[in-house]
Amino acid sequence: MIPELGHYALVLALFVALVQSVPPLVGAATRNGAWMNVAVPAAIAQMLLVLVAYAALTWAHVVSDFSVLNVVQNSHSAKPMLYKVSGVWGNHEGSMMLWIVMLTVFGAAVAMFGRNLPPTLKARVLAVQGLIGVGFLLFILITSNPFIRVVPAPIDGNDLNPLLQDPGLAFHPPFLYAGYVGFSMAFSFAVAALIEGRVDPAWARWVRPWTLAAWSTLTMGIAMGSWWAYYELGWGGWWYWDPVENASFMPWLAGTALLHSAIVVEKRDALKSWTILLSIVTFSLSLMGTFLVRSGILTSVHAFAVDPKRGVFILVLLAIATGGSLLLYSLRAPSLKAGGLFAPISREGALVMNNLLLSTATATVFIGTLYPLFLDILNLGKVSVGAPFFNATFIPVAIPMIVAMVVGPFLSWKRADLWAALSRLWIAGVAVVVAVAITAYVKAGGGPLLALVGIALAAWAFVGSLVEFADRIALFRTSFRNSWHRAVHLPRSAWGMTIAHACVGLSILGMTGTSAWQTESITAMKPGDQTTVAGYEFRFDSIGLVDGPNFKAERGVFTVTKDGRSIATLTPERRSYSTTRMTTTESAIHTTVFSDLYVALGDPTQNGTAWIVRIYHHPLVPWIWIGGAGMMLGGLVSLTDRRFRIGAPERRRTAGKSAPLPAE
């Protein structure tokens, strides 16, 4: 009964979404307030209905209702409760449900908190959001219905893929989807602004918080996915340039560009047309990512050709959303008035440079991901594009991007003095030299050249960002009290930028460290054996059997010592899940913040007396994710900037008088 209720709520949500779209659009065109106002209750109702449907599906999973096909395919009565709940989104149908939940939550948030939006803009934004909802609700109901029953109901389910029964992965999709779907807000605002024919700084001020929120969660989602790969896949890789990863990386790159170009619209009323285009492109890339992973085209072009129902549906949605909005753009964009003027060397110029490089980076990933598929579909041959290609093409674009990222904030709006900016960065320059010298000394030659470049960039980004902050609060140029006062009163967006930019440096440090200087040992070990990796002694003490709720595991015990000092006891596991007949490695990691000691237990050798043990020393690797979390934090801090809050502009104007600050 409850699954039928969920199904019914989903169908109702589809009709409510239609009500959210059509009358408000007509109302906004004819200036009919009553018709426009329909959008607000409709958006809230759509969210409630979708939540009811989602709750119904969760209920079916939690009570293990094996008369529901989706539960049979992805759950098992012995599965721990956490994974019964997270298993709801751990499959195709459920993940699309999560997608639509996020979409409607964002829509309802605009309906509830967008009181200061002009009525026509608000009606149109909600209408576009409703139209996206219509598309995806149709997709779920027609091709991916999670409420289908199965008769007769089996006694137990097939269990969820054990690799997904992991706390890190359990919370990865909600973050990722909040980011993906969050960019729909930027899209809806862009389309609404095109229909209105008006883009101004106020528009950018409304769009930026949504973009910031989406960007922050997407950053976190990608970082969590990368962290999970690191500890779960058994050898410590953290990024593979796989199409599935690229599918989430492209919207992130484009979203980063959007985040920056929207600043120019807000502060200087320039780059309007470009920002609108970026909003459209960013969400289109999110849709394309959904298409890539949901259609099955990545697994096999031929499998896709045999059963293309889902893929074609998303492709049509993508074509309508992207094609329609680009058509609208081509009709309306020329009439957008170009705004403030500026010299090439200026803050605006730096942000244009940022956008050029980020767009190129996006295009690089796009070409590398889609070109092999394109060739394959057209039967023009097969070509492999892997990590070496992306490293060769992406890194050359990323390097100038990081260099410019530090200089940009020193430039003033309209017209700036590049030499003056660079001379204020001398401390960062010194830091780069020192960091490279130390690295070359410690690592005796420093390893590959690229590693030294990485260290230099990390030092530049981290120290340079802090120098900018110190410069802003006039540290050491005025009394400490005064500096403190300035820091406290600095806009939160300035704090956010410093945190995020500095954390980019930390991430680069981690990426460089582990790529250049990881050491490993792959050996067959018996209990009692000892091996040395990077100066640490690993002793294999014992191995035993452990019973989990839905798995059995072999658990090894390793003692790690360094120069006779005890460092850690590590207990890696090799789990066998009975229902799915799969084994997973649960690697054991000891982190010292500056490096990770990583032990993974492999298969027993043929005579069964020894086990294949992989031991790694990953220098600096934790900083990849510390940096990632810090970038998200920077985004969130920026989000609390008072100018994004209701009524902020006027209050800020009065408040601004008492604080002796250059307006950011």
Partner 1 sequence: MTRILPAALLALSLTLPALTPALAVQPEEVLPDPALESRARAISQELRCLVCQNQSIDDSNAPLARDLRVLVRDRLQAGDSDAKVMEYVTDRYGDYVLLRPPFKATTLVLWIGPFAVLLLGAIGTFLFLRGRRGVTAGTDTAPLSADERRRLDALLRKDD
Considering only residues 55 to 94 of the shown chain, the ones binding partner 1 according to CB under 8 A are 90-92
Of residues 294, 486, 501, 617, which one binds partner 1 by CB under 8 A? 294
* Minimum CB–partner distance for residue 592 and partner 1 (Å): 24
Q: What is the dihedral of CA 173, 174, 180, 182, to 10 degrees?
A: 180
Q: Among 6, 173, 182, 408, which residue interacts with partner 1 (rule: CB under 8 A)?
A: 173
Q: Are 194 and 240 in contact (CB under 8 A)?
A: no
Neighbour-count burial of 229, counting CB atoms closer than 10 A to its CB (0-12 exposed, 13-18 middle, 19+ buried) = buried
Reported as type and span, the H/E element at residue 258 is helix 243-268
In angstroms, what is the minimal distance from the CB of 206 to partner 1? 10
- Closest distance of CB 478 from partner 1, Å: 29
Helices (H), ranges, 378-491: 387-407, 418-424, 426-442, 449-472, 480-489
CA-nearest of 179, 173, 166, 292 to 230 is 166
Q: Are 252 and 222 in contact (CB under 8 A)?
A: yes
Q: Minimal distance in Å, beta carbon 508 to partner 1?
A: 18
The minimum distance between CB 43 and partner 1, in angstroms, equals 20
Of 37-45, 125-133, 239-247, 461-469, the window that binds partner 1 (rule: CB under 8 A) is: 239-247
In the list 67, 138, 373, 414, the residue contacting partner 1 (rule: CB under 8 A) is 414
Whose Cβ is closer to partner 1: residue 472's or residue 575's?
575
Assess 341 for contact with partner 1 (CB under 8 A): yes
Alpha-carbon gap, residue 290 to 157, rounded angstroms: 27
* Order of strands, sheet of 588-591, starting from the edge strand that comes earlier in the sequence: 519-525, 611-619, 595-604, 588-591
User: Under the criterion CB under 8 A, does residue 405 sit at the interface with partner 1?
Assistant: no
Helix 347-377, helix 387-407: angle, nearest 10: 170
- Check binding of 314 to partner 1 (CB under 8 A): no
Residue 245 binds partner 1 (CB under 8 A):
yes
How many residues in the shown chain lie near partner 1 by CB under 8 A?
96
The least CB distance from residue 2 to partner 1, in Å, is 23
Task: Tell me which residues in 483-542 interact with partner 1 (CB under 8 A).
Answer: 522-524
Interatomic CA distance for residues 176 and 216, integer angstroms: 10
Q: Which residue in 51, 363, 399, 403 binds partner 1 (CB under 8 A)?
A: 363
Instruction: Let me know: does 284 contact 274? Beta carbons within 8 Å.
Output: no
In the numeric block, the tokens 């949500």 are attached to: 13
Please report whether residue 415 would count as binding partner 1 according to CB under 8 A: yes
Is the Cβ–Cβ distance between 471 and 448 less than 8 Å?
no
Q: Which of 462, 459, 465 is nearest to 437 (CA)?
A: 459
d(CA 218, CA 251): 9
Residue 474 in contact with partner 1, rule: CB under 8 A: no
Residue 237 binds partner 1 (CB under 8 A): yes
Q: Decide if residue 619 touches partner 1 (CB under 8 A).
A: no
Query: H or E stretch including 596?
Result: strand 595-604
Asked if 232 is part of the footprint of partner 1 (rule: CB under 8 A), the reply reads yes
Out of 33, 41, 154, 386, name the contact with partner 1 by CB under 8 A.
386
Rank residues 10 and 353 by Cβ distance to partner 1 and give the closer one. Answer: 353
Closest CA to 565 of 589, 592, 586: 592
Q: Which residue among 308, 340, 527, 604 contacts partner 1 (CB under 8 A)? A: 340
Question: Binding mask 126-145 vs partner 1 (x if CB under 8 A, - otherwise)?
Answer: --------------------
Cβ nearer to partner 1, comparing 59 with 235: 235
615 binds partner 1 (CB under 8 A): no
Q: Is residue 234 close enough to count as binding partner 1 by CB under 8 A? A: yes
Closest approach of partner 1 to the CB of residue 322, in Å: 18
Closest by Cα among 515, 488, 653, 518 to 596: 518
CB 322 within 8 A of CB 280: yes
Residue 584 touches partner 1, criterion: CB under 8 A: yes
Least distance in angstroms from the C-beta of 555 to partner 1: 16
Q: CB under 8 A: which stretch of 52-60, 188-196, 356-364, 562-570 binds partner 1?
A: 356-364
C-alpha–C-alpha distance, residues 181 and 175, integer Å: 10
477 vs 653, beta carbon nearer partner 1: 653
Which of 323, 544, 549, 647 is the binder for partner 1 (CB under 8 A)?
Answer: 647
The yes or no reply on residue 380 touching partner 1 (CB under 8 A) is: yes
